[in-house]
Structure 1
Amino acid sequence: MRLPIWIRQHLAALRALLVMTVILGILYPVAIWVVAFLPGLHHDAEGSMVKTADGRVAGSGIIGQAFTDSGGDPLKQYVQSRPSDAGDGYDPTATAAGNLGPESIVDTLPDPSLVAAGKEDENARTSLLTDVCTRSKAVGAIEGVDGSRPFCTPGGVGAVLALIGPRDAAGHVTHPTEVVSLNEECGVVNTPFVAAYQGVVVQCAKYGTDYADGEVVPVRGTAPAHPEVPADAVTASGSGLDPHISPAYARLQAPRVAKARGVPEQRVLLAIKDNEDGRVLGFLGEPRVNVLKLNIELDRKYPFRG
């Protein structure tokens, strides 16, 4: 007796489900599990854990971490990682990028009444430019170098003006009647980063004032074209979990780390060289330094006496 077509279709679907369950739900996972135990792969499969000299697990060699104190300040004896936008910083459960691009140059200023009350304005946002400027100034102060960058104010925010006035056919303001430093809020700064622009006195930005009619103009300033603070010291990676920094950023930190540990700077530079990886396959990417492995080597060879 031939079964009805709808029963045959359901039986075929059931057989396909069982076959795919066996293949994809049992055989494939088992095969991957077995492959993970092959020599050369097992370490990566276990999370690439890195241990200290006394056998403690210090972290993963493929996931970055911060080297800061309980207040979030950098520990002077350690080489610092790059910034992270993953959660509160290097949170593997919240891996993410800042998703801000080159056009992110104007801040959303905080409500001064909330700031005065010691509260945080949840609507306030800093632009990518201000993030870069703030970080560069901070790194410069920590490492004792010039932290200035093009298009940044000396105070560490984006140097951006709004020109208000009549416009030409191309939409540019020809003769500004008012000029505002958009990222310098009144009450926070007393004097804008530039006193005048095209003969017009520059004003600080007032919270709640709409400057949308103004032409936004970034001001380059006098900072060197090639800042002393490298780009990876002021920008987060796409995942927020990058365990590496550039050799240039590692070398920038060498004098501070050497002084904190009481050793010659050359020894820290040699440790940096020991932990430097070249380009993948010899031509992909850039040379890089694993921060965790470098700090473990520094702890092992030159313990911090505090």
Structure 2
Amino acid sequence: MRLPTWISAHLAAARALLVFTLLLGIAYPLAITAIAQLPGLKHSADGSLVERDGKPVGSTLIGQSFEGHHEYFQPRPSAAGQGYDPTSTGASNLGPESVVDTLPDPADPADQGKQSLLTQVCARSRAVGAFEGVDGGRPFCTTGGVGAVLAVFRANGLTGPITRVVSLNETATAYDATSKTAKTDDTARPFVDTYQGVKVELAVFGEDYAKGIVTPVRGDATANVPADAVTASGSGLDPHITPEYARLQLNRVARARDSDPATLARLVDEHTTGRALGFMGEPTVNVLELNLALDKQYPVKS
């Protein structure tokens, strides 16, 4: 007896589903897994894990934090989850036009506001400078570590005389935990007193400055802190830093390990990988491998 067409079609689809499930869902993954375990491939397939004293301490492919440890080289920042989280890999999704902060509500102690990319870079540069004992200032940043950005109001909107200037990322109002109220700091001052002859005001939470022309101010600071020290990678998991950032950290690490910066500089050179094929990308230093070599050759003296 011939089956109805619709039943035949469904049976054919079921057979195809079964065949492709066996081939692509079981046989193919098992074959690839078996191939990956061959000598020469197994280390990479298992995650390029690095061991010390027989125990895994990390992967050469995933960055990790060494925050607060003066005796170690530090990685670049991470925007993956709470930092270096492989289950939440990703970037901050903030671009070059992200220069204006969202100010915190001074009446809400839980509101921390939202920093722009520019302010994040400024704050990180200031922190790295203090950690490494160098000037952490950089162009378009205030000495307080926020973006140096003004809202410039003109008489005719985009043209005409300047009528008002506001420092968008600086405010004198904050939440006072003691009195549990908003408190104004009468000593607070904007990063510049005047702009083209007009007095600069501090921003006030809740005010609308949309009609002002957003104007970043470059200033005369020189960036001593490399870009990779203040910006996260696209994945947030980059395990590498530039040789420039590694050299910036030499004095601190040498002091912590009672060693000579020139000696550690040679170790950095040994762990610097050149451009791929001689022309692709930039030279890099794997932070984990460098720190493990430090522990082996120049251990911290107790």
Q: Equivalent residue for 2:271?
A: 275
Counterpart Cα distance in 1 of 2:38 and 2:73 = 34
- Alpha-carbon distance, 1:282 to partner: 2.4
Tell me the number of residue pairs that the alignment of Structure 1 and Structure 2 aligns.
290
Q: Equivalent residue for 1:84?
A: 78
Report sequence identity in percent. 60
Counterpart Cα distance in 1 of 2:269 and 2:207 = 52
- Is 1:63 the counterpart of 2:52 in the alignment? no
Contact 1:192 1:203 in 2 (8 A): yes
- Alpha-carbon distance, 1:246 to partner: 0.6
Counterpart Cα distance in 1 of 2:48 and 2:276 = 18
Counterpart Cα distance in 2 of 1:7 and 1:58 = 57
Contact 1:100 1:128 in 2 (8 A): yes
Q: Equivalent residue for 2:117?
A: 128
Q: Equivalent residue for 2:178?
A: none
- Alpha-carbon distance, 1:84 to partner: 0.4
User: How do 1:112-151 residues align onto structure 2 when only pairs under 5 Å count?
Assistant: 112-114=106-108, 119-121=109-111, 124-151=113-140
User: How do 1:222-241 residues align onto structure 2 when only pairs under 5 Å count?
Assistant: 222-224=220-222, 227-241=223-237
User: How do 1:237-248 residues align onto structure 2 when only pairs under 5 Å count?
Assistant: 237-248=233-244
Match of 2:295, as an amino acid? D
SS in 2 for 1:138: helix
Query: What is the TM-score of this pair, normalised by structure 2?
Result: 0.92
SS in 2 for 1:158: coil
Counterpart Cα distance in 2 of 1:266 and 1:113 = 52
Q: 1:176 aligns with which of 162, 174, 178?
A: 162
Q: Equivalent residue for 2:246?
A: 250
Counterpart Cα distance in 1 of 2:120 and 2:130 = 16
Counterpart Cα distance in 2 of 1:286 and 1:134 = 26
Counterpart Cα distance in 1 of 2:279 and 2:35 = 28
Match of 2:233, as an amino acid? S
Cα distance change of structure 1 residues 102 and 21 upon mapping to structure 2, 3 Å threshold: same
Counterpart Cα distance in 2 of 1:76 and 1:45 = 33
Contact 1:97 1:236 in 2 (8 A): yes
CA RMSD of aligned residues (A): 1.4
SS in 1 for 2:292: helix
Q: Equivalent residue for 1:71?
A: none
- Alpha-carbon distance, 1:274 to partner: 1.7
Q: Equivalent residue for 1:30?
A: 30
Deviation sequence 1:119-140 (CA, Å, 0-9, x none): 3305x10000000011111111
Match of 1:48, as an amino acid? S
Runs of 4+ residues deviating >3 angstroms: none
Counterpart Cα distance in 2 of 1:285 and 1:261 = 32
Deviation sequence 1:210-267 (CA, Å, 0-9, x none): 111111111110113xx21111000001111111111110111011100110001112
Match of 2:147, as an amino acid? G
- Alpha-carbon distance, 1:173 to partner: 4.1
Cα distance change of structure 1 residues 297 and 6 upon mapping to structure 2, 3 Å threshold: same
Q: Equivalent residue for 1:75?
A: 69
Q: Equivalent residue for 1:293?
A: 289
Contact 1:163 1:173 in 2 (8 A): no
SS in 1 for 2:249: helix
Match of 1:40, as an amino acid? G
Q: 2:209 aligns with which of 208, 211, 217?
A: 211
SS in 2 for 1:129: helix
Q: Which has the higher strand share?
A: 2
User: How do 1:156-167 residues align onto structure 2 when only pairs under 5 Å count?
Assistant: 156-167=145-156
- Is 1:190 the counterpart of 2:188 in the alignment? yes
Counterpart Cα distance in 1 of 2:75 and 2:160 = 45
SS in 2 for 1:292: helix
Q: Structure 1: give runs of 5+ residues left out of the alignment.
A: 69-73
Contact 1:183 1:205 in 2 (8 A): yes
Counterpart Cα distance in 2 of 1:271 and 1:56 = 24
Match of 1:137, as an amino acid? R
Counterpart Cα distance in 1 of 2:55 and 2:2 = 68
Q: 1:199 aligns with which of 197, 200, 222?
A: 197
Q: 1:263 aligns with which of 259, 266, 287?
A: 259
Deviation sequence 1:53-98 (CA, Å, 0-9, x none): x222211110000002xxxxx2111100100011111111111110
Match of 2:7, as an amino acid? I
